Copies of this chain bind each other. A is one copy, B any other.
Amino acid sequence: MTERRHDRAFVRTFFTSPTAVEGEADSAKMLRRASQLRGMQAPDVWVPDNEDATAPSMRDEGAENIIEVVAEAGADFPGEIHPRMVWHRDSPATRYQGFQHMLQIADPERGAIEHIDGFVIPEVGDIDDWKKADEFFTIVETEYGLEEGSLAMSVIIESGQAELAMGKLREEMGKPTNNLERLFLLVDGEVDYTKDMRAFTPTGELPSWPELRHNTSRGASAAGCIAVDGPYDDIRNVEGYHERMTENQAKGMLGIWSLTPGQVVEANTSPLPPKTGSWLLDVDGEQVELESVDGVELYDGDRLSLTQTDDGYELRVGGDTRLLDEDELREELHDLTSYVPSMDDIVDSMEEFEAAKEAGRGAIAMEQAATLRIGGTELSIAKDRMWDEATYQAAMTPISLFQDVYENRPDQHDELNERYGANVVERAIEVGL
């Protein structure tokens, strides 16, 4: 069975901080500030970044800063801590520098390693390059009497060869001459990947690389690792960040890089089911969320209109108008609408299905009803969905994620209780176990 070998089965957020900033009185200022994050602002995985976020000339000082800040604040940090070292598939000198920094940081006398869960290795190449890094982890562990394989290794996928290497993990992990079972996160690094693939776009915007993200998610699934998307650098664009995360979730990539505490909040929240359910209306190919007012779901845009006539209804979408009787209209609206269930809805449905299964029934229909108002015209519709074992199992993914968060992030309990209400939270952490 594809085993998960780490404390966290899900990681929503991967937050990097520069380890040493030049020209500041305290070069560790950014690290110190990040180490104090709590609750929704604190990431699942915090990455003191001694690679790209830190100037090359500051990286030795950065390694020292990691030791100092983690020794001091690591015990109380609510997420895991995985510093990023320097590494490059094409540079032995860079690899040796990364090894030296790991040896330095992992020295138990310095007091940091007991709070460190693993290291992040960027710019890996093919699988034999991953093994070189793994070997340095093993040496560090044996040098300091740590258990072999106890330090997690996460990698940044930022080359075509690393993308291909993910297809080989399953056959390489568990071989007697490596400890690749230590692999934890597979993180896409689209900026350097774009460079490695020699791709470009007219405006300089990054390509969206859907195939890479699929392959990373698949590699994680096959090897018991966790897939994480790279940085989204249009920091002010919260909507765009959420769209990217929704896309990723449909690929099984549930984690994402965060560059600011604000992005951490968004990314910690995005994979959690919403507090309240909502109805979507397909308006000429675009999903529009309806506004819920006094139990009625309102659409008040201009692109779709509905008017009652003497002998039925007139439905206009874009430039096309159709005359429908009530049954036809109901069927049409049935097809055009969909429902986004709340946490409460999901837990309800799961409990209902569990009870039905207990009673010997393998499939039950769940109904979702609503009154829609489009323009001034109202109509009630109801949508059935069959739930069977497979539906139930698939619905379990966001719930399992929630349970993983709840177990590992007590610092977020208050915010979760506030979001969902204590009753829903209580049922959600029990359902499906």
Contacts and interface: CB of A to CB of B under 8 A. Distances in A.
Given A202-B246, A211-B210, A251-B197, A318 B303 contact: yes
A167 B164 contact: yes
Contacts of A199: 217, 249-252, 397
A393 interface: yes
A257 to B, nearest CB: 13
Contact of A211 (B198, B211, B320): B211
A327 to B, nearest CB: 14
Contact of A160 (B218, B237, B396): B218
A244 interface: no
Interface stretch (A40-48, A132-140, A338-346): A338-346
Contact of A221 (B196, B319, B386): B196
A191 interface: yes
Interface string A291-303: 0000000000111
Interface string A176-211: 000000000000000110111111111111010011
B397 A195 contact: yes
A421 interface: no
Q: Which of A195, A202, A360 has the most CB of B within 10 A?
A: A202
Sort chain A's interface into a size bin: 35 or more
A90 interface: yes
A254 interface: yes
A164 B2 CA distance: 14
A390 interface: yes
A71 interface: no
A197 B226 CA distance: 10
B252 A197 contact: yes
A340 B202 contact: yes
A164 B170 contact: yes
A55 interface: yes
A394 interface: yes
A321 to B, nearest CB: 7
B280 A203 contact: yes
A141 to B, nearest CB: 28
A214 interface: yes
16 contacts: A1-B89, A52-B388, A126-B171, A160-B217, A160-B221, A164-B167, A164-B218, A164-B222, A191-B390, A191-B394, A196-B221, A200-B249, A200-B397, A203-B341, A211-B215, A303-B320
